[in-house]
Amino acid sequence: MIHKQYENGEKLGEECGVFGIYDFGGNDVASAIYYGLFALQHRGQESCGIAVSDTRGPKGIVKSHKGMGLVNEVFTPEVLEGLKGDIGLGHTRYSTAGSSTRENAQPLVLNYIKGTLGLAHNGNLINAPELRRELEYTGAIFQTTIDSEVIAYHIARERVRTASVEEAVARAMDKIKGAYSLVIMSPRKLIGARDPFGFRPLCIGKRDQAYILASETCALETIGAEFVRDVEPGEIVTITPDGIQSDRSHCIAKEQEARCIFEYIYFARPDSHFDGVSVYQSRIRAGRFLAMDAPVDADLVTGVPESGNAAALGYSLQSGIPYGTAFVKNGYVGRTFISPGQSSRESGVRIKLNVLREAVKDKRIVLIDDSIVRGTTSGRIVSMLREAGAKEVHMRISSPPFLYPCYFGTDVPARDQLIAYNRSVEEICRIIGADSLEYLGVERLGEMIDGLPHCTACFTGKYPLDPPEEDIRGEFKK
């Protein structure tokens, strides 16, 4: 497996958005999946795919298309026209484990003795290498390097011994460990499953006679569907024309659940809700807490677009310091652009962001961002503000410092690549060139999300599951 480096140099990556729909009215669902994926594009810009089937036709026929690139690059009107079916899956991917190739794009579609199985997965398994070896020694041949295929194989294998696909999913969940939100398509069923800790989000929606499973509520709103409820941590939901069945046999005590706090801080779109908490409101609260705990005299509060904006507004509301726009973002810079050589003066940050000189000249600035990973981007942005005439730049971060790697689907790098590892806040402040630097306290995270149990392992090293003994992240491979 290959650990993916940051395309943007600093921002975290997150593994994937999933979307599934079953239209009991018999309408084609490919266009709804397309727009659902479009709404989930922020969760992965590397590859995407759609797989559909017609429940009224012969069993086992699945049409699919996937490729490298953004949703609107991979799917043309002609491609969507050829994807006929009333049940389907969609996936948009960012790789934290498994190389960046078309073969690793999802959804995965397996043909096996019981028919076909489609699967889309968001998360990371910590025991994937062990499960992969177990399957390989019994003759399994893998087409990809992703742990999602390990899940699909285990479901298919259990299905041969069980009466239903949902029972097979339940048995597979007994074996797999880590973070997973799954959407699974069998010839006549749409199934959603969420790991017992609830690391990644998954929700249920409804539009007319169609039911939807999606990573975020923003995808439901994009296609005009109403939110029904979240899939609970550990729950398996089975959607058929007879309704929704629920299996909660894998649910654990509420206090043991461990939602990824970075869904609220950065990953999820601000207009989404996750387990009853507004992402936007959680970011506003983070900014308010920063203003309470790390006040500073200043003239303007601004956020690093886009993820720092809501927290910056919260800081402004609490402190009374005016909130303003200090950056213009180039909306046409996509996931990739020509990368200048080391000898070039161009900077990737400057290509994406320009400073509004009139907004910052001769002012003391409070600059809010969601995180500092390696510190390179933060240093460039502070430098840009100073060059534009800012008198002071005080940086406030709406998360605690990263000190430990993540094994559950967030692309936090190895400890020696983290700027906060073995450095004090004062040292980091000097490195990025700010006048002052403060982070959100770990104790504030629970308040930020209404007391929901959450995972803080990347800040504290307290993992809800024991970290893997094997190198699932590929950090030590050449």
pLDDT of residue 13: 53
pLDDT of residue 199: 97
CB of 260 within 8 A of CB of 200? yes
* Residues belonging to the chain: 478
CB of 45 within 8 A of CB of 374? no
d(CA 398, CA 303): 11
CB of 27 within 8 A of CB of 210? yes
How far from 215 is each of 20, 75, 91, 122, 353, CA to CA, in Å?
9, 20, 10, 8, 29
CB of 306 within 8 A of CB of 368? no
**Average pLDDT rounded to a whole number, residues 435-464:** 97
CB of 29 within 8 A of CB of 90? no
Which has the higher per-residue pLDDT, 338 or 12?
A: 12
Active site residues: 16
- What lies within 8 Å, CB to CB, of 203 at 6+ separation is 213, 214, 215, 216, 217, 220, 227, 228, 229, 230, 231
**Average pLDDT rounded to a whole number, residues 433-443:** 98
d(CA 442, CA 399): 8
pTM: 0.91
d(CA 297, CA 78): 57
pLDDT surpassing 60 at residue 25: yes
- Domains along the chain? 17-257 (3.60.20.10), 279-452 (3.40.50.2020)
Best-predicted range by mean pLDDT (217-231, 340-354, 402-416): 217-231
Instruction: For 165-193, write each residue's pLDDT tens digit.
Output: 999 999 999 999 999 999 999 999 999 99
CB of 201 within 8 A of CB of 181? yes
Residue among 176, 185, 157, 3 at smallest CA distance from 91: 185
pLDDT surpassing 60 at residue 343: no
pLDDT of residue 7: 37
Name the average pLDDT for the chain: 90
Q: Which DSSP state fits 8?
A: S
Which of 32-36, 96-100, 208-212, 216-220 shows the lowest per-residue confidence on average (mean pLDDT)? Answer: 96-100
Residue among 179, 283, 281, 194 at smallest CA distance from 237: 194
Q: Which residues, in sequence order, are bridge partners of residue 207?
A: 210
